[in-house]
Amino acid sequence: MHLHSLPTAPGVARLVGGASLLALLITGCSSPSQPTAQGSEASTTTSADSSSEGAGNSPLQVVASLKGPQFVGVAVLPDGRTFLDFPRWDYNPVMPIAQLGSDGSLKPYPDANWCLWNETVRNEPQKHWVCPQSVYADPSGMLWVLDPAAPGLKATVPGGPKLVKIDPKTDKVVQNISFPESVASRKSYLNDVRVDTQRNYAYITESGVGSLVVVDLKSGKARQVLAKHPSMLGDSTLGIKANGQELVDATGKKMQFNADGIALSRDFQYLYWKPLTSYKLYRIKTEALRNAALSDAQLAQQIEDLGKVPACDGMEIDANNNLYLTAFETNSIVRRTPDGKIETVAQDKRLQWPDTFSFTADGTLYVTNSAIHKTPTWNKGVDKQNQPFHIFKMSLPK
C-alpha cells in the first residue's frame, strides 16, 4: 500500500470511513492532479544503484530506485518481468501500471490507452486505470490489477472499481470484473488481492469501510463481508510510529487504517488479514468465505485471533507457511512461523515504510518501500519524501 498525502498505504493503508474519512480528506489531501510523470520527472536505476547508505550487513539488494512518483506494489512473474503500480494520490502518473525494463525504463501496461485517465475518457472508467492500488502475480503466472478508482482518496469514480486479469503471454486483458456500489461504495478503498487458482476465487481487503470482498471469478459476482467487524478496523489509540515519530495528522488525529495486509495460504485453505494500525492478526477458512449462505455473524464466529504481531502494511506466505510482514515501525521485514514465533528477517534503514511483497518460485522475496510517513499528511503539510523509492530483493531465509 502507499500513500501520498492521505493515510493509505498495498500491499495501502486504509481509512476508517464516515466522519473519519471526511476529516482526513478535508485536512490531508493535496491535489492529485499535479503533473508528475514517469516519462519526464522520474529517474530510475537498476541493481547497480548506489543507494547502499546504511545497508551494513543487510541481505537486501536494490533492484530498482525511482525518484519519480511514489509507487505502491510490485509483481514479479516467473519469467522475471516486473510490474509496478503508481496510485493517483498526490501525483497524476503517466503510467499508473508500468512494466520495469532491465535497463530501468518504464513502459505503460498493458498499453498507453489503459493508462490514460483524463476528461476525454471520463465516461469509460472501466477501460482505464483510475487509481490502481495493487498489482499481483497469481500462482499460475497471471497478472491481476486491483483498481479502487478513488483518485486522491476522495471517493470512488462511479463504475470505476474493478479487478482486472491480464495474460502476460499476450499482454491482453482477459477478464474485467466491475464492482457495484453494494460491494465498493463511494467511501470504499479496495486495497489488496489474493487469488485461489484452484477454485477460481479472489479475496480482497477493503480499507475505506473496513471489510473483505469475496469474488467468484467464474461468475464475476462479488460479495462484501464482515463490514466494520472489529477485526477489520484499525486502532487509533496505539500511537503507531515510523522512524520513532508518532503518526499524527495536522489536526492532531492519530493514524487509523483499516483492513490492509492480506495473505492466502499456499493450499488456499486460510485467508489472513490485519488492519494496518493494529497489532493483531486474523485468519479464517476460505471455505467459510465462499459459503454465501453464511451471515456475517456466522462468519465472525469462525474468525481466529492469532495474537500479537507488529504493525505492518504488506503480508505474504512462503512454501513453509511462514507469514512475512512489512514491519514499518522498525524498518524491518519479519516473519511469523507456523507456531507463532516472530523473527526478524531483515532490518535496514532504507526500508522507509516497507510496503508490498512479491515472492517468486525460486525463493526470492521482493519488497517495495513507500515512505508513507514522510508524506504531507503526517508532517504538517510538508512533503519529506526526499529519498528514492526502491524495489529490494533477497533470498527467502531457510
Q: What is the pLDDT of residues 128-173, one digit of tens each?
A: 999 999 999 999 999 999 999 999 888 999 999 999 999 999 999 9
Strand partners, 155: none
CB 110 within 8 A of CB 127: no
The grid coordinates listed for 38 are: 514517469
Q: What is the mean pLDDT of residues 316-325?
A: 96
pLDDT of residue 177: 98
Tens digit of each residue's pLDDT (9 = 90 or more) over 184-198: 999 999 999 999 999
- Which residues lie across from 308 on neighbouring strands? 280
Read off the pLDDT band of 12 (50, 70, 90). Answer: very low
Confidence of residue 379 (pLDDT cuts 50, 70, 90): confident
The top-scoring range by mean pLDDT among 25-34, 83-92, 297-306, 366-375 is: 297-306
Topology of 18-395 in CATH? Neuraminidase (2.120.10)
Residue 283 in grid coordinates: 485468519
Strands annotated E in 256-350: 259-264, 270-275, 280-285, 304-308, 315-317, 323-327, 332-336, 342-347
pLDDT for 45 equals 52
pLDDT band at 32 (very low <50, low <70, confident <90, very high): very low
- Range with lowest mean pLDDT among 39-48, 339-348, 355-364: 39-48
pLDDT at 91: 76
pLDDT of residue 290 exceeding 60, the answer is: yes
Q: Which residue has the higher pLDDT, 66 or 98?
A: 98
pLDDT at 250: 85
Please give the distance of CA 377 from its chain centroid, rounded to a whole number: 18
C-alpha cell at 262: 492480506
Asked whether the beta carbons of 94 and 33 are under 8 A apart, the reply is no
Stronger pLDDT, 8 or 227, i.e. the higher one: 227
CA dihedral 48, 49, 55, 58 (to 10 degrees): -50
Give tens-digit pLDDT for 225-259. Answer: 999 999 999 998 998 999 888 988 888 888 888 99
What is residue 55's predicted lDDT score, i.e. its pLDDT?
A: 57
Helix (H) or strand (E) holding 222: strand 221-225
User: Which residue pairs, CB below 8 angstroms and at least 24 apart, start in 145-149?
Assistant: 145/85, 145/97, 146/190, 146/191, 146/192, 146/193, 146/204, 147/190, 148/184, 148/188, 148/189, 148/190, 148/191, 148/208, 149/125, 149/184
pLDDT band at 37 (very low <50, low <70, confident <90, very high): very low
Stretch among 217-226, 233-242, 262-271, 276-285 having the lowest mean pLDDT: 233-242
Residues forming a β-bridge with 304: 283
Q: What is the reported pTM?
A: 0.88
276 pLDDT band (50/70/90 cuts)?
very high
> Average pLDDT for residues 15-20, to the nearest whole number?
33
- The most confident of the ranges 49-63, 189-203, 250-264 is 189-203
